[in-house]
Structure 1
Amino acid sequence: MDKQLAGRLHDKISNIKIIDTHEHLMNREMFKDLGFNLFSALEMEYVKDDLLTQGMDPNLLLEKASEPEILFAELLPLLKRTRNTSYYRVFFQALRDLHELNGDELDPANLKAVSERISRAYERADWYQYVIRDICKIKCMLRDMDYLTTDDDFIKPVIRMDSYLMLRHRNILQSWIEKGYPMYALRVPEAEYPERVKNLDDYLAIIEADFRRALEFGTVAVKIGIAYSRTLQFDNVSIDDANRAFKLPDEKTTWSDIKTFQDFIIFRVIENAGKQGLPVQIHTGMFAQGKNTLWNSNPLHLTNLFLEFPHVNFDIFHGGFPFTGEIGSLALMFPNVHLDTCWLPLISYESFKKAFSEWLSYVPYGKILWGGDCGCAEGIYGAVYMIRQALSEVLAEKIRDGQLDEALALDIAKAILHDNAARLFGL
């Protein structure tokens, strides 16, 4: 790789205004109220996955946050053994650049000082403006946090429709009400549900009402993340079969019945999205702290949806990783399939570069997008850092090999970071 060329590309790419297709950013005021610090950031960002896969107690960061000496004793050996990963490198890059981490990055004294700086940073009313808008140059961000309100006008909401799949039919919901379980995901007050939902038509009316509410809220897309719970193979179920599943009592409901109902609902959700002109974002591939069978999230399972709904735009997440060849093929085959690389450079920097290089040989660059998929400013900074580096390096190699010239390479970078999302989401 020509480092001088890559550096020149990086400088120019770093000035591109970004439309970020996917984040889970919480409002700064929420972090401030929680007392955000280093351990909070570790809890929120993906380096935690590296710790969990080495056997860390999932509750360690929260339960021991008030006892830093004990926490460091358990945490540092695990962090030391994960220094090779993309998750680790990008997290600590953010700490160095944003919070003055110097010297030994795993020295407890250094980390305590960084933790204090993080807390002070979140006291600043302009912290998001400084990191996300000024440094990262994010012009617009699509946020997957449902109906969380914000005064930041650069944040555009994406509304999830998984709740209508998770809470699969009236009988199960009624059981939840009787047991006092929370019903927030359904977006219907618990006391109103028995009166409002007498049959499947009533249930479908709730979904349609939620779409109207989402549009009034300003949503630019809907999200389906059900891959964490089941296969992405959705069949076109008849309303009679859906009705049968809907009416079944809990004790007679099988997983086959649940899938039948969910499949029916997913078709209705996509129909509604199509009527409203909303793109549908779908999780595929790797799971963050997930325990589903990886094959269930292969993007190839979605093929029948792409065929059934040719006028609905699908924004397929995470580069399908590890099914990167499959998602590239789908993006080439179907005009309504868009290849979103959100999260992938963080999962594996090298895997992103390899996949991106291959995609450029057969997927029109007008179909590739990017997002960070992070929960705090530090994570977003790291995600932007990684994508700028990766684009610069891969595009420099393409120029060296004679496949691109510099002007086209920069057009590709701008399309991926801004233009493609602007066109897809009408921004």
Structure 2
Amino acid sequence: MSQPSLYNEIMQMPVIDTHTHLVGNKLCANDFWEISDYFWLNRELQSAGYPADADRLPQEERAAAFVSAYHGSRNTMMNRAFTAIMKNLYEIALTDAESVLKANETVKQKRNTADWAQHVADRLNVVRFVVNHPDHAAFAGMREDALLLPRIDSWLPELARKIADSSGASRQSAFEYTKRTISDQLQSYQAMGSPGIMTTLSAYEASAHEAYELSDNSSIDEITMMLLHEICSELQERGMFLQLFLGIERGWGTDSAAPVNNSLRIVKLYGLFESYSIAFELVVASELNNMDIVQAAWNFPNVHVGGMWWYNFRPSTYLQSMQYRLEAIAPLKSSLVVSDARCIEWTYGKLLLVKELLAHFLDKQVENGWISREDALYSASEWLHGSAAKRYGLTNSTR
């Protein structure tokens, strides 16, 4: 006899959204267009003929163009998430240009509701959000402020560049100055209560297991890797962790970012994983690296796998990655959710998809006899909440 679906239990489970672009004093979308212009949906709409400069059109023309592209891309994942936002949060069905204009007024009205942001979070039981800028962490109208994981890619590349631009004794002096700067910066983050930091890393030729020594011949990639060692050493002294976002590279066009499946991207960091006892959380945007980070987490007890980022946020890659994780690593080593949302309404749309996919995936595992229903629910609870809560020191965050 088949067992009942896990859907209801999973929908009620608490969630920690481990990466957002939410800004604490403007969590809600100001209007319909702030929701509909979300980068990922906009790209799919453009594939169905939506103008790239639609925001310059008169409202009526823009609404008509939107509806045409919206119906033309109804098979896509972000379209489905957007439809759920409109239907479930606003009770709106978009059928024609007039319905878009009415939706715009509804969104404006709702965002002025005092508890709207908390209401949206509660729909899927999202108990905490992570942000990367100190001035974004105070969440107005919410029960909890965001957890702050400061991102260092705003200053790390510049520090490496300054060292690379110097030479001789000046290069060594610049390196020593940078080490002090790193220590001071991490101390300030710790004083803010941040349990860790976050950074992206683009393409890098250096490898963490190599014993580089600073010289005039040191490349900027080698200097960056030496600085990463300094950062990890400082984090270890402070009991903090490092969240790494990997797999996106820029420079292949004037204003483009692309996922690059570099088979050596993760193993080049093994020297960090084995040299420091800090926790590393790996988040990737390139499909083939999903297996690589699971292998790293299998090899190193201090390596954890994070949510699905950028081009990885698709049902196909979610299902594949969940299979890798279920087979190889304990659930407490895996976090599943990275919404990348810029308004709280999109955390609902994207997390709804995640929970639905998770329920579908685990239902199949139970049905096929690979795991028990109890183990499936345990895995789901860790992937959605427990793993991140432990790593981030949020063990009481289970409203």
TM above 0.5: yes
213, 224, 230: which one aligns with 1:262: 224
Say whether the 8 Å CA contact 2:242–2:280 is kept in structure 1: yes
1:110 aligned to 2:114? no
1:222 aligned to 2:213? no
1:123 aligned to 2:112? yes
Which residue of structure 2 aligns with residue 231 of structure 1? 204
Map 1:359-374; keep pairs closer than 5 Å: 359-371=325-337, 372-374=339-341
Q: Displacement of 1:51 after TM fit? A: 4.0
1:309, 1:81 → 2: CA distance? 52
Which residue of structure 2 aligns with residue 313 of structure 1? 279
92, 97, 111: which one aligns with 2:83: 92
1:385 aligned to 2:352? yes
Residues 260-298 of structure 1: per-residue CA shift (max 9 Å, x gap)? 332222222222222222221111236798424613586
1:271 to 1:232, Cα distance in 2 relative to 1, 3 A: farther
Residues 65-121 of structure 1: per-residue CA shift (max 9 Å, x gap)? 7x322323544444344322212211221111111222xx35221122122211222
Greater share of residues in helix: 1
1:83, 1:297 → 2: CA distance? 34
Q: Structure 1, unaligned stretches of length 5 or more?
A: 175-196, 246-255
TM-score, length of structure 2 as denominator length: 0.83
1:147, 1:308 → 2: CA distance? 34
1:45 to 1:377, Cα distance in 2 relative to 1, 3 A: farther
Q: Which amino acid is 1:351 matched to?
A: T
1:426 to 1:149, Cα distance in 2 relative to 1, 3 A: closer
1:149, 1:354 → 2: CA distance? 33
363-372 or 67-76, larger mean C-alpha shift: 67-76
Which residue of structure 2 aligns with residue 180 of structure 1? none
45, 53, 64: which one aligns with 2:56: 64
41, 44, 61: which one aligns with 2:38: 44
Residues 1-31 of structure 1: per-residue CA shift (max 9 Å, x gap)? x6x722xx1111222222222222122x336
134, 140, 145: which one aligns with 2:128: 140
1:240 aligned to 2:234? no
Map 1:260-409; keep pairs closer than 5 Å: 260-285=222-247, 290-292=256-258, 294-296=260-262, 299-318=265-284, 321-343=287-309, 347-371=313-337, 372-409=339-376
Residue aligned with 1:316, SS: strand
1:411, 1:348 → 2: CA distance? 23
Q: Which amino acid is 2:162 matched to?
A: R
Which residue of structure 1 aligns with residue 74 of structure 2? 83
Residue aligned with 1:130, SS: helix
Residue aligned with 2:128, SS: strand
14, 19, 23: which one aligns with 1:26: 23
Residue aligned with 1:240, SS: coil
Residue aligned with 1:169, SS: helix
1:166 aligned to 2:157? yes
Q: Displacement of 1:335 after TM fit? A: 1.0
Matched pairs, number: 379
1:396 to 1:24, Cα distance in 2 relative to 1, 3 A: same
Q: Displacement of 1:375 after TM fit? A: 1.6
1:44, 1:301 → 2: CA distance? 34
Map 1:177-188; keep pairs closer than 5 Å: none
142, 150, 162: which one aligns with 2:138: 150
1:56 to 1:124, Cα distance in 2 relative to 1, 3 A: same
Percent of aligned pairs with the same amino acid: 19
Q: Structure 2, unaligned stretches of length 5 or more?
A: 167-171, 395-399
Q: Displacement of 1:231 after TM fit? A: 3.4
Q: Which amino acid is 1:5 matched to?
A: P
Residue aligned with 1:163, SS: coil
Q: Displacement of 1:211 after TM fit? A: 0.9
Say whether the 8 Å CA contact 2:284–2:312 is kept in structure 1: no
Q: Displacement of 1:400 after TM fit? A: 0.9
RMSD: 3.3
1:366, 1:386 → 2: CA distance? 22
Residue aligned with 1:23, SS: coil
Say whether the 8 Å CA contact 1:18–1:417 is kept in structure 2: yes
1:73, 1:145 → 2: CA distance? 37
Q: Displacement of 1:173 after TM fit? A: 9.8
Which residue of structure 1 aligns with residue 8 of structure 2? 11
Q: Which amino acid is 1:145 matched to?
A: H
1:125, 1:10 → 2: CA distance? 30
Which residue of structure 2 aligns with residue 425 of structure 1? 392
Q: Displacement of 1:146 after TM fit? A: 4.4
Residues 21-64 of structure 1: per-residue CA shift (max 9 Å, x gap)? 2222122x3367xx711211233352123246678666x35x42
Q: Which amino acid is 1:125 matched to?
A: A
1:148 to 1:154, Cα distance in 2 relative to 1, 3 A: closer
Q: Displacement of 1:309 after TM fit? A: 3.0
